[in-house]
Structures are given as structure tokens and as C-alpha cells.
Amino acid sequence: MVQWTSWAFRDGAKMEDNAAYGITQSIARDASASETLQTYINLNSVHLEVLRLYDKTSSDEEKESDDEETDSDDNQANCDYEALLEDTLDIAGIKESRSLPEFHPTSAILRTYLQLAVVIVHEFAHAFNIAYYVRQPGEIHVEPWVAGDRLNELGWALIHNILAGNPRDT
């Protein structure tokens, strides 16, 4: 697959669907055989921004425990990360009365790692499908159906089967 698929993090605002965590696009070059396509996976860079802010905040907290003095950059990183967490709750529509009394940054960052891993595996399922299955020129790309699913969305089906249960025969 390494010669058939490329990937990169991109600014979400520059992606075709800026709300997407990832998008797999086909490239008009043969992959595993003629009439298959190479792919390019675009991952939303929002994950990297969150991880960087968390790393900056964590390292600043370690420095703080060693040295009581903090500078404005350290405080800014901590405020940025906390603001990001609060914005996430607001965007999700969680009322303040329903939010947790104390937000745990370590738990939040672990969920970010999990979400990024899920997005990578999800998009890889699309890339594999495009690079492996032969299509006739001009044929519309259709993903296979997986038993028990309501629609033929291969990325979702793979993640569902990894995290929620065993695949069934069709």
C-alpha cells in the first residue's frame, strides 16, 4: 500500500469539507493493477493543534513544579488549551449545568489520540478499497456492503467491527 497511498495533515478550512476529520481522494494513476486508483488521505490538522497545545501545557506544568516562576507564554498555552476544551463542550451543545465539574485534560488528550487513530484507520479502509478493487473506466466508485450496515460506508464498517463487535458473513 505504501506506493499506492500518500497522506498528510491539512488545515481543516482548506479541505473540501472543513468539518471532516479526514478525506480520501483518488488519484488517476494505477495502483495494485490497471483500472485501480492511487489515493491521497487528507487528515484534518485540528488533531495536531490539540496535541501541540496539550504538550506545551504539560511541559509548562512540569517546569512550574520545578520553578515557581511562569512567563506569559506558559500561561497563554495553558489558557489556550483550557479554552479549546471549553469551546469543544460549547460546540457539542453541552449545557454548563450538564458539564463535568472538573475537566480532566489527560482524559481529553487520550480521547484525541483515539479519535486520530480511528480517523486514520477509517480513511485507510477507503484508500485500500480504491487501490485494490478494479473499476472500468468511467465506472462510479461504489464501496462494498458489509452485512448488518445500513449503508455502504467501508470506513465506518471497519471501525464499527474493530470497536463494537465481530464482522458477519453476507
Convert the pLDDT of each residue in 80-98 to its tens digit: 767 777 777 777 777 878 7
pLDDT for 155 equals: 92
- The domain segmentation of the chain, as residue ranges, is 48-107
65-81 pLDDT, tens per residue?
Answer: 555 444 555 455 556 76
Q: Per-residue pLDDT for 27 more than 50? A: yes
User: Of 56 and 143, which is predicted with more confidence?
Assistant: 143
In tens, the pLDDT along 37-51 reads: 888 899 988 888 888
Distance CA 118, CA 93 (A): 23
Which has the higher per-residue pLDDT, 106 or 69?
A: 106
Q: How far apart are CA 117 and CA 113, in angstroms?
A: 6
Q: Model-level pTM?
A: 0.73
For range 135-157, the mean pLDDT: 82
